[in-house]
């Protein structure tokens, strides 16, 4: 057992809460879209559920960034996980409420989308609070060690264990993954509740809510490179979500996979993330920051072009591995650059604005993916319409690569 985990009870509890919460998130990544396909295979309905899941990042990122700096972060995390526990149980109630055919489709998809939206809202609060809580329980000189251990646990639980576990649970009973998800959120809330956080003292309203938020906006507008990175990330995430929205149909109808197979397919992407976490810092050090971003942007169209052409499971798994690997390369460079460039006093607010652009475009991408497929299906047929979404995503990635190659230049100091 690593020394930090063994010696620091508070860190041990915080990491346990992060692992349990991410395990439940990983279950939901598969269970929500799969549940939607059991109700209907209309891509517009699937897009509505995916849109609702990501919409909270567009709506709440900015205000939550300010609120987190003022709130009792422990209480915020506990309440968010308890809320998600209750919402997972509400999904179980929705499943048990009635048949999934005929006139029941609309209200069941609407109910699933509403619950996904509320769960996503709680996630925004939980994630923002969790990002700022670690320095309260770990000495500053051990933050890198602590962050590395938490990241590893989150990746393993949220991407390696969660999706395939959800697939096995769905094979047992459709409500089972949501029951397991609720239990994970409850245990995560208990772990965070048990932490002995040091007192923060009186949380003063230093400048007023809108004044503090405007300070973040003013800073990022003046820093051209970080604003540029945020806007590019918004395009990348929009294209990713457009493709991911129809990926569940691609797995079912083209690759012929069941719930367990789809979970294993997503695990291939997780393997790319873990490999990227190990190798991408070395790659970035050898290539430099700007070249690393160009390489990442150049590789991003390839997985979606591959999905357009292939009907082979192992090829699709390899493409998901590549997609996640290059996404980690992008994140390694851009996150490190932001951490150096943004003043500490503004870090929370500027990061929230960055997420507003970068993550806020995801619901629009999700909606576009489903509606493009639905619009093209009458003339192209179902499978070609599905593959068209992947081709258009690849086209957007190519456009972002061309823009990045021509305009994106990180200061040399970022490569240190």
Q: What is the pLDDT of residue 144?
A: 56
CATH topology of domain 207-416: Growth Hormone; Chain: A; (1.20.1250)
Smallest CA-to-CA distance from 285 within 326, 338, 321, 336 is with 336
Q: What is the pLDDT of residue 127?
A: 84
What pLDDT is stored for residue 415 in this prediction? 37
| Same CATH fold assignment for domains 1-197 and 207-416 | yes
Give tens-digit pLDDT for 72-103. 788 899 999 999 999 999 999 998 886 545 55
The model's pLDDT over 247-270, given as tens digits with 9 standing for 90+, comes to 999 999 999 999 889 988 988 888
Q: For domain 1-197, is the CATH number 1.20.1250.20?
A: yes
Between 284 and 1, residue with greater pLDDT: 284
How confident is the model over 371-392, as a mean pLDDT?
Answer: 96
- For residue 355, pLDDT beyond 70: yes
List, for residues 23-80, the tens digit of each pLDDT value: 999 999 889 999 999 888 889 988 999 999 989 988 888 888 777 766 778 889 999 9
CB-based contacts of 208: which residues, under 8 Å, 6+ apart? none
> What's the confidence (pLDDT) of residue 309?
96
Grade residue 414 by pLDDT with cuts at 50, 70 and 90. very low
Q: What share of the chain in percent tops pLDDT 90?
A: 45
Element (H, E) at 11: helix 9-39
Q: What does the pLDDT read at residue 201?
A: 55
Whether the per-residue pLDDT at 317 is higher than 90: the answer is yes
Mean model confidence pLDDT for the chain: 86
Q: pLDDT at position 216, please?
A: 81
Q: Give the model's pLDDT for residue 128.
A: 78
CB 21 within 8 A of CB 184: yes
Q: In b/e form, how buried is each residue of 262-281, taking b as 16+ CB within 10 angstroms? A: bbbbbbbbbbbbbebbeebe
Confidence (pLDDT) at 344: 62
Q: Which residues contact 344 (CB under 8 A, 6 or more apart)?
A: none
For 266, the 3-state DSSP assignment is: helix
> What ranges do the domains of the chain cover?
1-197, 207-416
Tell me the mean pLDDT in the region 330-348: 75
HSE-CB of 204 using CA atoms within 13 angstroms: 2
């Amino acid at each position: 057992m690593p020394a930090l985990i063994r010696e620091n009870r508070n860190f041990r509890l915080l990491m346990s809460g992060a692992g349990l919460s991410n395990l439940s998130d990983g279950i939901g990544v598969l269970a929500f879209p799969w549940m939607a396909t059991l109700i209907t295979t209309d891509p517009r309905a699937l897009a509505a559920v995916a849109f609702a899941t990501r919409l909270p990042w567009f709506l709440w990122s900015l205000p939550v960034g300010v609120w987190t700096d003022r709130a009792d972060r422990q209480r915020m995390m506990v309440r968010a996980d308890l809320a998600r526990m209750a919402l997972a149980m509400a999904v179980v109630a929705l499943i048990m409420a009635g048949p999934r055919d005929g006139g029941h489709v609309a209200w069941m998809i609407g109910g699933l989308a509403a619950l996904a939206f509320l769960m996503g809202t709680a996630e925004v609060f939980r994630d923002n609070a969790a990002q700022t809580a670690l320095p309260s329980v770990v000495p500053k000189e051990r933050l890198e060690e602590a962050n590395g251990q938490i990241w590893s646990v989150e990746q393993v639980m949220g991407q390696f264990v969660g999706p395939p576990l959800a697939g096995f649970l769905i094979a047992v009973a459709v409500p089972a993954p949501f029951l397991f998800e609720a239990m994970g959120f409850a245990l995560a809330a208990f772990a965070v509740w048990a932490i002995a956080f040091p007192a923060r003292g009186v949380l003063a309203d230093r400048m007023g809510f809108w004044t503090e938020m405007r300070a973040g906006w003013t800073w990022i507008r003046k820093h051209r490179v970080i604003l540029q990175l945020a806007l590019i990330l918004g395009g990348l995430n929009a294209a990713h979500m457009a493709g991911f929205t129809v990926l569940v149909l691609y797995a079912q109808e083209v690759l012929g996979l069941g719930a367990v197979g789809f979970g294993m397919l997503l695990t291939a992407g997780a393997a790319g993330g873990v490999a990227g976490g190990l190798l991408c810092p070395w790659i970035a050090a050898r290539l430099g920051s700007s070249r690393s971003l160009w390489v990442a942007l150049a590789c991003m169209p390839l997985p979606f072009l591959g999905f357009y052409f292939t009907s082979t499971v192992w090829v699709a798994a390899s493409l998901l591995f590549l997609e996640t690997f290059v996404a980690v390369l992008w994140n390694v460079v851009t996150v490190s650059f932001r951490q150096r460039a943004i003043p500490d006093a503004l870090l929370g607010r500027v990061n929230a604005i960055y997420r507003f652009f970068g993550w806020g475009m995801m619901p629009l991408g999700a909606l576009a993916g489903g509606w493009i497929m639905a619009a093209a299906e009458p003339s192209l047929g179902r499978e070609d319409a599905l593959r068209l979404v992947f081709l258009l995503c690849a086209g957007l990635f190519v456009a972002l690569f061309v823009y990045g190659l021509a305009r994106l230049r990180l200061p040399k100091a970022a490569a240190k």
